[in-house]
Amino acid sequence: MITPLDMTSTETEPAYGLRQYFRPLRRRWPYVVAGIALGVAAGIAANHLITKKYKATASVLVTPTGVDNTANSATGRTQTDINLDTEAQLVKSHAVADRARAALGEGKSAAALASHVSVAVPANTTVLRISYRAGSATRAQAAARAFAAAYLADRAASARAVLTGREAAIKTQMAAVARRLNAESSGPRRSRTASENVGISADKAQMAGLAKKLSEVTTTVVTPGRIITDAQLPSTPSGPGAALIVASGAMLGLLLGIAAAVVRDRTDPRVRDAARLDELGLPVLATLPPNGADTSRAYRRLSTFVSSASGDRGAAVLVANVSQGQANAGVARELAASLAAGGRTVSLLQADDGSFTSVRVQPTSEQLNGRPADRGEIDQRSWNDAPEQALRSLRESSEFVVVDAASRDESRGADSLAGSCDYVVFVVEAGTSRIDDVVDSVQQVQLIHGSLFGAVLTRGASARTRSAAAEGSLFDGRGHS
């Protein structure tokens, strides 16, 4: 048996699962699509606006120069005495950049040229990969070659400068020793003392050692290294390709679209679909199709819910709009007619500006599947300001009493009727009814009754087209005193 929503339960909040997180995206999918479209457009624009850069790389094998240099100590990268981290910094030094600038014949400053250089050191090697980025492929190739050659030339020049300094120092020492020897050898040999002879022997030995060192310095071959892979002409620009840029734009647009959809959905004050009512804890009993489509199936579903919930004892059902400004969808009248079509005795109590009118409802021949209906005369009666008395009287003569309260804010006595009815059904118009009104209506029913049955969701078009036809197609009546 279908039961109404228990408003006395403490767990009024619906369980929030994964599906609920995707509902805002389904409701606001145009925002997501627009975000992706904007992201793709931005990616295409960025791909055209970003300056293409070409990258050329030359590989240089760094070898010991043949000159001891304790300042360039070994590191854990290799087992040699070459500190490749230091060498990588030297590639971008002002001295090397100045040499490359001279070779290229560039008007740019050395610092500007060096800013386009990058150096990588492959693991466990003594190789420097010197790369240069430029706006053209030929310029990138020429600059990479120039910096590789300039680095080797500067390294060789530094080593030769060290050798030249050592040669000059040795020659200075040899000249001093030669002067001492000349002075010591100028006197007669038999007049020399033993200590003088020892001094002469020591100076000669020193001169021989210095001569050996000078020979080693002058015969040292400087080996700064060599280019093992020449810079090739790049065929395509470096960096991310067009596909990656556009895909990144689309992904960013997707994220922005999702954010916009969630924010718009959470800040929208109106109910847009049944899922939003479900999130508010209000079950949707039926959804009326838009544009005047056939609503008979929706009302059969609604009347089945009401009949199943009440069983054989019947019930009084209050039908009311949740917001002002909603179109009169004729839900109460259609529900009464659908219940009558099931063979139940049904009365409709209508509230309008404080006055109440009741009618006995008979189904049309269409609602009886083509079987002629015994329409007879349908009682119509005005109850003035006695809605509770009318409801009690109608319940004695009818199994079901459907109360058409229209808007709860516009109909005096609606709250008191809600307290006397078994079930309350709210009519919510998508795009018109406000979320605050739905929450307020549910809370009001909780305070005065506690048996909220659910909601009927209408679309704007169906609500207005149904209201025009409701008067003539569902009821016949004749007033009486």
Strand runs (DSSP E) across 283-415, as ranges?
284-287, 315-321, 346-352, 355-361, 379-384, 400-407
Q: What is the mean pLDDT of residues 395-406?
A: 85
What is the number of other CB atoms lying within 10 angstroms of the CB of residue 469?
A: 11
Q: What is the mean pLDDT of residues 234-262?
A: 86
User: Is-contact 107 151, C-beta < 8 A?
Assistant: no
What is the number of other CB atoms lying within 10 angstroms of the CB of residue 398?
A: 23
Residue 174, classed as helix, strand or coil, is helix
In this prediction, residue 219 carries a pLDDT of: 87
pLDDT single digits (tens) 27-39: 788 889 999 999 9
Q: What is the mean pLDDT of the chain?
A: 78
Is the pTM above the cut of 0.75? no
Q: Please list the residues that pair with 119 across neighbouring strands.
A: 130
Out of 138-147, 277-286, 327-336, give the one with best mean pLDDT: 138-147
The domain limits of the chain are 54-229, 270-479
In this prediction, residue 124 carries a pLDDT of: 87
For residue 177, name the pLDDT band (cuts at 50, 70, 90): confident
**Which H/E stretch holds residue 243?**
helix 242-267
Encoded tokens for 56: 């050329």
Q: How would you label 32-57 residue by residue, b for 16+ Cβ within 10 Å and e otherwise?
A: bebbbebbbebbeeebeeeeeebbbb
Phi-psi region of 358 (alpha: psi -120 to 50; beta: other; left: phi over 0): beta
Count how many Cα atoms sit within 13 Å of the Cα of residue 124 in the half-sphere of its side chain.
Answer: 0
**Which H/E stretch holds residue 439?**
helix 435-448
What is the number of other CB atoms lying within 10 angstroms of the CB of residue 76?
A: 5
Residue 467 in this model has a pLDDT that exceeds 70: no
Indicate the fold that domain 270-479 takes in CATH.
Rossmann fold (3.40.50)
In this prediction, residue 238 carries a pLDDT of: 77
* Distance from the Cα of residue 275 to its chain's centroid: 23
User: Is-contact 294 464, C-beta < 8 A?
Assistant: no
pLDDT single digits (tens) 346-372: 888 887 666 677 788 876 544 444 343
User: Is-contact 394 347, C-beta < 8 A?
Assistant: yes
pLDDT single digits (tens) 325-347: 666 668 888 888 888 888 888 88
One DSSP character per residue, 282-302 reads --EEEE--STT---HHHHHHH
Q: How would you label 407-429 residue by residue, b for 16+ Cβ within 10 Å and e otherwise?
A: bbebbebbbebbebbbbbbbbbb
CATH of domain 54-229: 3.30.1890
Residue 471 in this model has a pLDDT that exceeds 70: no
CA–CA gap between residue 443 and residue 72 (Å, rounded): 81
CA–CA gap between residue 75 and residue 89 (Å, rounded): 15
How distant, in Å, are the alpha carbons of 4, 53, 403, 405 from that of 414?
19, 75, 9, 6
